[in-house]
Amino acid sequence: PNATPSVSLGLPGAWPEDFARTRADLDALLVLSHLQGIRPLDLHALAWREGSASSCLRAILSGEKGSSLDRRGASTVEPRAVREALARVGARLAAPGTDEYPDGLLALADPPACLFVRGRRAVPWPEAVAVVGARNCTAYGRETALAIGAGLARAGVVVVSGAARGIDAAAHRGALRAGGRTTAVLGSGIDVLYPYRNRRLLEEIAGTAPLFSEYPPGVPPHGRRFPARNRIVAALSRVAVVVEGAPGSGSLLTVGFADQLSRHVMAVPGPVTGPLSAAPNALI
């Protein structure tokens, strides 16, 4: 198809206009979301070559693109079964160009080809701030994240994080206690509320704003999926705030994505003797 490269529009992650226009394209997205051998970056490039999700899937099934594992996997996914699994947990598909696919994701070089969404709708996507930090946080860090989450919520800003224990969970809880909105991005399938100890928290979050995942139902949590999750956290937000983190902290991955996306980065200072002050103090 004759398509203008997305980069010329100032949106690295823009998708072709006809990428997900038909029911067949949406079914193809349900299949493509299951493939592990083709990276989002490669699928995005393939979309600009092929024009539609259906054409991308045909290129993979024919062996022209993707791996033999992708071809086998694609042939076993039944879109109707995926839709039924989504319906069981009250989730839905958000494709590029639809109102529940946040525009901020288009700033990514490797945007998700689709999102799975459950919980309350937030259309259009509002002002949002990411609050991230250490899982094994201190009492100081937890108290600070609670206060930041509450303050942002009272100002009408959505708090974005990953629902991990520690700073993430504290920021979510602060927003909820203030009667505000908060959203979480999962590193697992949209039906897998992980971490399991925060299941009730995630259910509360879904009552105020969407839960997002680029992974379809049934996908278990895995270490490699959390860095990918962090790029979505950064893209949904105008600002990323780091509250505690050791050197090499996972929160610095979110900072890296935020920096690439020209988002503002902020950090909460901590005592110079505290190991969890290393990341935020270095950023400052």
Hey, how many other C-beta atoms are within 10 angstroms of the C-beta on 41? 13
Question: What's the rounded Cα separation, in Å, for the pair 48 and 151?
Answer: 42
With a cut of 70, list the residues of the chain below it in pLDDT.
1-10
In this prediction, residue 17 carries a pLDDT of: 95
Strands (E), the chain: 91-94, 115-119, 128-133, 158-161, 182-185, 210-213, 239-243, 264-267
At 185, give phi and psi (nearest 5°): -110, 125
Stated length of the chain: 284
In this prediction, residue 66 carries a pLDDT of: 85
Q: Tens digit of pLDDT for each residue in 122-156? A: 999 999 999 999 999 999 999 999 999 999 999 99
Closest CA to 185 of 104, 80, 268, 77: 104
Q: Tens digit of pLDDT for each residue in 224-239? A: 899 999 999 999 999 9
Hey, how many other C-beta atoms are within 10 angstroms of the C-beta on 241? 29
In this prediction, residue 166 carries a pLDDT of: 97
Residue 56 three-state SS: helix
In this prediction, residue 11 carries a pLDDT of: 79
In this prediction, residue 9 carries a pLDDT of: 41
In this prediction, residue 137 carries a pLDDT of: 97
Looking at the DSSP bridge assignments, the partners of residue 213 are 116
CB 110 within 8 A of CB 39: yes
Two structure tokens written together for 122: 């937030």
Question: What's the rounded Cα separation, in Å, for the pair 2 and 49?
Answer: 9
Q: How far is CA 239 from CA 42, 165, 270, in A?
A: 28, 21, 20
